Amino acid sequence: MTVKIKPAKGSPYARILGVGGYRPQQVVPNEEILKHIDSSDEWIRSRSGIATRHWAGPDETVTEMTLSAAGKAIADAGLTADQIDAVVISTVSHFKQTPSVATEIAHRLGAGKAAAFDISAACAGFGYGLTIAKGLVVEGSARHVLVVGVERLSDLTDLTDRSTAFLFGDGAGAVVVGPSDEPHIGPTVWGSEGDKADAITQTVPWDDYRDSTVEKFPAIRQEGQTVFRWAVFEMAKVAQQALEAAGITADDLDVFIPHQANMRIIDSMVKTLKLPEHVAVARDVEFTGNTSAASIPLAMERMLATGQAKSGDTALVIGFGAGLVYAAAVVTLP
Amino acid sequence: MAHTSEQVLEGLADIVNEIAGIPTEDVQLDKSFTDDLDVDSLSMVEVVVAAEERFEVKIPDDDVKGLKTVGDAVDYILKHQG
């Protein structure tokens, strides 16, 4: 017998209510990287714009970094942990796959029996998580959703690979998404291009270790030119589509927060998108390196903390990375 | 319409000038992009994309590595232009 099923009662719209970040204590300058590769500070800066990155110490685990960032985001939202109904964590560098990080976070935060799960969407992880969170809030399965991007990419860095040794950093960035009477998160333009899976990959799959002689821990390897071309020119189109989907133009933007992969990508995207001068552009990569899923919320937090952006500003966020995957949306800053 | 060798060189010189700030007169057939003109691997991608648009050619990533000199790029574009 087919019966009429009562749907959940969601909010008409959703918004980002708060943001928080955690950067590990150890700041690693380019000089430290140069102990392992034949390069120079000038070369690294000219190719990437990166001057420093943060590396996590033994106690700065994925879990601990997440707890710190999440606590700040919940406080920034004016909430307490018991008001969080769902925890969504994006990471590619948590090496214990079962159970998920999210369940431990929900428990230790004091979020009761919040739904909790991890997602794997690399550097697009924040946008993927944000989209899931918005859906949960609007559909009604959750009222407040914690979304965290967290990485310890130093664990997946080959310090002898002169094309990637300087790129990656560690950290966590979190937001809380909750109900709103007005739309403050625009439509997500997202997708995947699995035909370009080789452009950014983990060098060795974990199961190769089971009974083989593989000795070197895996690292992230990428085809620099392929990624650069895709990130700048294809992602500029995606960014443009996200603006159009939200019914605005670049002139209406206050802030642009692209994934902090590389300053050259950011600069070229800004040029390709012809962003007006008044748009503040996130350039946290200089200080934090590429922290994959954590980079957008970390950059958002820094811009709000330093006054480069303010609450209520209209921002375009776009993440892109291994998969290849991407996600872009216009949001109102918390 | 097919471009002549001179037109392609001139167009490439404009592109390299705009992207890397190299004087157009320095962009000669025998010059190496990296060694002589200081066009790094990422700027090279921007040069290639601009050249694709200007000359209506497709230059896949795998072929970009083979374009060592300005002359290599001119030859490639002449051979592949629509």
- Show pLDDT as tens, one digit a residue, over chain A (334 residues): 999 999 999 999 999 999 999 999 999 999 999 999 999 999 999 999 999 999 999 999 999 999 999 999 999 999 999 999 999 999 999 999 899 999 999 999 999 999 999 999 999 999 999 999 999 999 999 999 999 999 999 999 999 998 899 999 999 999 999 999 999 999 999 999 999 999 999 998 888 888 777 778 899 999 888 999 999 999 999 999 999 999 999 999 999 999 999 999 999 999 999 999 999 999 999 999 999 999 999 999 999 999 999 999 999 999 999 999 999 999 999 9
Q: Domain limits at A299?
A: 189-332
Within a domain: A3: no
- Nearest residue in chain B measured CA to CA from A199: B61
Q: Is residue A299 part of a domain?
A: yes
Last residue of a domain, one of A134, A161, A180: A180
User: H/E/C letters for each residue in chain A?
Assistant: CCCCCCCCCCCCEEEEEEEEEECCCEEEEHHHHCCCCCCCHHHHHHHHCCCEEEECCCCCCHHHHHHHHHHHHHHHCCCCHHHCCEEEEECCCCCCCCCCHHHHHHHHHCCCCCEEEEECCHHHHHHHHHHHHHHHHHHCCCCCEEEEEEEEHHHHCCCCCCCCCCCECEEEEEEEEEEECCCCECCCEEEECHHHHHHEEECCCHHHHCCCCCCCCCCEEECHHHHHHHHHHHHHHHHHHHHHHCCCCHHHCCEEEECCCCHHHHHHHHHHHCCCCCCEECCCHHHHCECHHHHHHHHHHHHHHHCCCCCCCEEEEEEEECCCEEEEEEEECC
Residues A46 and A158 in one domain: yes
* Cα–Cα distance measured from residue A154 to residue A170, given in angstroms and rounded to the nearest whole number: 6
Query: How many angstroms away from the CA of B39 is the closest CA of chain A?
Result: 11
Nearest to B61 among A47, A225, A264 (CB): A225
Please answer yes or no on whether B45 and A47 come within 8 Å at the CB atom. no
What was the pLDDT predicted at A213? 75
- The position carrying tokens 């967290």 is A150
Decide if B45 and A228 are in contact by the 8 Å CB cutoff. Answer: yes
Residue with tokens 């946008």: A127
pLDDT of B1 over the 70 cut: no
Are A287 and A223 part of one and the same domain? Answer: yes
Q: Does a structural domain hold residue A6?
A: no
On whether any CB of chain B is under 8 Å from the CB of A226, the answer is yes
Contact indicator for A176, A74 with CB cutoff of 8 Å:
yes
Kindly state the tokens that stand for A264: 């050259």
Q: Are residues A201 and A171 in the same domain?
A: no
Instruction: List the domain range (segments joined by +) for residue B38.
Output: 5-80
Active-site residue flag, A290: yes
**A246 and A121 inside one domain:** no
At B82 the pLDDT is 67
Query: Does residue A171 sit in the same domain as residue A212?
Result: no
A121 and A79 in contact (C-beta within 8 Å)? Answer: no
User: In the predicted model, is pLDDT for residue B59 greater than 80?
Assistant: yes
Residue A331 buriedness (CB in 10 A; 0-12 / 13-18 / 19+)? buried
Q: What ipTM describes this predicted complex? A: 0.85
Residue A74, in any domain of the structure: yes
For residue B61, pLDDT over 90 is answered with no
State which of A137, A159, A180 marks the end of a domain: A180
Choosing from A162, A180, A198, the residue where a domain stops is A180
Q: Are residues A166 and A224 in the same domain?
A: no
The answer, for B81 touching chain A at a CB cutoff of 8 Å, is no
Nearest CA distance, A67 vs chain B (angstrom): 37
* Residue A275 belongs to some domain of the structure: yes
Distance of alpha carbon A46 from alpha carbon A29, whole angstroms: 15
Token duo for residue A204: 């060795």
Residue A8 lies in a domain: no
Q: Are residues A152 and A219 in the same domain?
A: no
User: Do A155 and A202 fall within a single domain?
Assistant: no
Which residues of B fall within a CB distance of 8 Å from A233? Answer: 49
Residues 6 or more apart whose CB falls under 8 angstroms from that of A297 comprise A19, A20, A21, A69, A73, A126, A147, A148, A149, A173, A174, A175
Backbone angles phi, psi at A226, to 5 degrees: -65, -45
Total domain count, chain B: 1
| Residue among B42, B48, B64 minimizing CB distance to A264 | B42
> Does one domain contain both A161 and A233?
no
Contacts 24+ apart (CB under 8 A), B19-26: B19/B43, B19/B46, B19/B47, B19/B50, B20/B47
Q: What is the CATH number of the domain that holds B25?
A: 1.10.1200.10
CATH number where A19 lies: 3.40.47.10
Domains: count for chain A: 2
Regarding whether A231 and A145 lie in a shared domain, the answer is no
* Chain A neighbors of B61, CB-CB under 8 A: 223, 225-226, 229
